Amino acid sequence: AQSVTQLGSHVSVSEGALVLLRCNYSSSVPPYLFWYVQYPNQGLQLLLKYTSAATLVKGINGFEAEFKKSETSFHLTKPSAHMSDAAEYFCAVSEMDSSYKLIFGSGTRLLVRP
Amino acid sequence: NAGVTQTPKFQVLKTGQSMTLQCAQDMNHEYMSWYRQDPGMGLRLIHYSVGAGITDQGEVPNGYNVSRSTTEDFPLRLLSAAPSQTSVYFCASSQDSRKRDATNEKLFFGSGTQLSVL
């Protein structure tokens, strides 16, 4: 069965600092991997996704993630945090033959300090 | 396009009451799904549908029913509400559930329904 583990329910960074949100997955078949962002009182929006093309995936708002099969990881990074990045971030996995069925991690809330 | 529309935005029920959460999309998407979001547990898939007339269970289907009589609508029914069903519910849709290349696919989410069961 597929699963996703997000390390750290809360991450706090200073404005301008590196953002690193961790995600490890478990899947018996090659996966698709996703990062979604949720701003307060809103639904989820897609940040980026990996679909077996390039292992380094660039998304919106300056975020990127690298697929590392040997580590079963798909960590999300951004070189310089902005106050507007404060939100909850979800990693998700799906199997290639059912790419619409996403299994989500428990989420990481990013706090950005001035 | 309105995207994915969920109603109501807020609802309070008493234990044992029934209700239907509505979800409609105007993007002609084949795939629709319902998730519940609980603190510290992320989003968990309740039910999903890959097209009109076809539904299937997700991770946490107990206590919920769905139907898909049209492409546009995917209502979620709580037949006898319980306090454990207090949660935020999200409906999501995507274009073509049978595509094997997900390069251009993504889930579109509604803004959610906050449900409290007393």
pLDDT in tens, B55-114: 999 889 999 999 999 999 999 999 999 999 999 999 999 886 555 555 556 788 999 999
Distances (CA, A) of B41 to A90, A108, B33: 11, 11, 18
- Among A6, A20, A14, CA closest to A79: A20
> What values do phi and psi take at A64, rounded to 5?
-150, 160
Closest Cβ–Cβ partner in B40, B105, B107 for A9: B40
Helix (H, G, I), strand (E, B) or coil at B84: helix
In this complex, which of A53, A100, A107 lies closest to B31 when CB atoms are compared?
A100
Chain B closest-CA separation from residue A43 CA (Å): 4
Of A46, A103, A107, nearest to B106 by CB-CB distance is A46
Non-local CB neighbours of B53 within 8 Å, separated by 6+ positions = B68, B69
Tokens representing residue A50 in the block: 């990996």
Q: Determine the distance in angstroms separating the CA of B54 from the nearest CA of chain A, rounded to an integer.
A: 15
Give the chain A residue nearest B42 (alpha carbons).
A106
- Alpha carbons A86 and B19: distance in angstroms, whole number: 34
Mean of the pLDDT values across residues A40-68? 89
**pLDDT over 90 at B35, yes or no:** yes
Q: Is B70 helix (H, G, I), strand (E, B) or coil?
A: coil
User: Each residue of A66-105: pLDDT tens digit?
Assistant: 999 889 999 999 999 999 999 999 999 987 666 677 889 9
